[in-house]
Amino acid sequence: VQVKAGAYSDELVQTAKSIASPGRGILAIDESNATCGKRLASIGLDNTEENRQAYRQLLLTTPGLGEYISGAILFEETLYQSTVDGKKFVDCLYEGNIMPGIKVDKGLVPLPGSNNESWCQGLDGLASRCAEYYKQGARFAKWRTVVSIPCGPSALAVKEAAWGLARYAAIAQDNGLVPIVEPEILLDGDHPIERTLEVAEAVWAEVFYYLAENNVMFEGILLKPSMVTPGAEHEKRATPETIAKHTLAMLQRRVPPAVPGIMFLSGGQSEMEATLNLNAMNQSHNPWHVSFSYARALQNTVLKTWKGRPENVEAAQKALLARAKANSLAQLGRYSA
Give the interface size with ligand 13P as a residue count (CB under 6 A): 13
* CA gap 177, 127 in Å, rounded: 10
Could you tell me if 229 and 24 are in contact, meaning their C-beta atoms sit under 8 angstroms apart? no
Binding residues among 125-144 for ligand 13P as defined by CB under 6 A: 142, 144
Of 37 and 287, the one with the shorter C-beta distance to ligand 13P is: 37
Contacts with 275 (C-beta within 8 Å, 6 or more apart), sequence order? 297, 323, 326, 327, 330, 335
* CA gap 173, 217 in Å, rounded: 8
Compute how many other C-beta atoms are within 10 angstroms of the C-beta atom of residue 135.
10
| Catalytically annotated residue among 31, 76, 160, 182 | 182
Q: Build a one-symbol-per-residue string for 164-203: x at contacts with ligand 13P by CB under 6 A, - elsewhere.
A: ------------------x---------------------
Binding residue (CB under 6 A) for ligand 13P from 259, 265, 313, 319: 265
- The stretch among 2-10, 46-54, 128-136, 295-303 that binds ligand 13P (CB under 6 A) is 295-303
Binding residue (CB under 6 A) for ligand 13P from 61, 173, 266, 317: 266
Of 28 and 199, the one with the shorter C-beta distance to ligand 13P is: 28
Binding residue (CB under 6 A) for ligand 13P from 28, 104, 280, 303: 28
Contacts with 164 (C-beta within 8 Å, 6 or more apart), sequence order? 119, 120, 122, 123, 143, 145
CB of 145 to ligand 13P, least distance (A): 10
Binding residue (CB under 6 A) for ligand 13P from 297, 303, 319, 330: 297
* CA gap 122, 145 in Å, rounded: 11
Q: Does 208 bind ligand 13P (CB under 6 A)?
A: no
Q: Does 294 bind ligand 13P (CB under 6 A)?
A: yes
| Catalytically annotated residue among 76, 103, 206, 224 | 224
Binding residues among 32-61 for ligand 13P as defined by CB under 6 A: none
Of 5 and 320, the one with the shorter C-beta distance to ligand 13P is: 320
Compute how many other C-beta atoms are within 10 angstroms of the C-beta atom of residue 332.
14
> 22-43 b/e with 16+ CB inside 10 Å = b?
ebbbbbbbbbeeeebbebbeee
- The stretch among 108-116, 203-211, 237-245, 291-299 that binds ligand 13P (CB under 6 A) is 291-299
Of 130 and 297, the one with the shorter C-beta distance to ligand 13P is: 297
Is 182 marked active-site?
yes
Binding residue (CB under 6 A) for ligand 13P from 100, 122, 261, 267: 267
Q: Does 251 bind ligand 13P (CB under 6 A)?
A: no
The residues that touch ligand 13P, with contacts defined as CB under 6 A, are 28, 30, 73, 142, 144, 182, 265-267, 294-297
Active site residues: 182, 224
